[in-house]
Structure 1
């Protein structure tokens, strides 16, 4: 089995608000819905855990998560979806100069987590320097 991320657990304040948001997002980017709180690809699971009364705080740690899109039209479809549901869009969809053809949309989920959906057809992963 290849190295990678097995799963991501997201704490949310209100599952009835967050689940429909992620359900629409993951449908657009090709993830499979497993049940009323989780989604998966062939190599990673993403699940929501409701934590009423807790508030997201800015701390050291992950600033954002970026989900891979299979093509530029998917990034544009996500942008349309985000506008339709009234999500906070930070930027995009916009082409960036990170690599040729890189297009991104950055946004916040209902609890304020920063997320990104990007298409990076020419992105080259650098080998580890360690």
Structure 2
């Protein structure tokens, strides 16, 4: 089958300090939010791809994205992620909680992955893409 891609993001690449630690974290997070493994170091939601590459600390100095927010399909998904984060003693920044300043039903949890990346999983039924 030949697919024609429209405008958008093809993939995101995460540079990580420890591939094994990162994959242990993401292999548990992604199934909770509906993403699946493409191989041992990349995942997809069916529309976007995110992959990981281990690089030595100090390999490259660059500024990047402040955080990545993943869509959740319900508040229950956000709560499951929050429970899982607590069970592994992850660095939770806030939530799960309502953030009415972003929309009356905006429900989110913000946290850091093992590399210190700031991630968010949010249910936002009013969002229009």
| TM-score clears 0.5 | yes
Partner of 1:49: 53
Superposition TM-score, scaled by structure 1 size: 0.88
Give me the CA root mean square deviation: 1.8
- 1:65 maps to what in 2? 68
In structure 1, the residue matched to 2:44 is 40
How far does residue 19 in structure 1 lie from its aligned partner after superposition? 0.4
Q: Which residue of 1 aligns with 2:32?
A: 28
SS at match of 2:39: coil
The match for 2:95 is 92
For structure 2, the 5+ residue unaligned runs are none
Matched residue count: 124
Give the TM-score of the pair, scaled to structure 2: 0.88
| CA distance in structure 1 between the aligned counterparts of 2:43 and 2:7, rounded to whole angstroms | 20
CA drift of 1:20 comes to 1.0
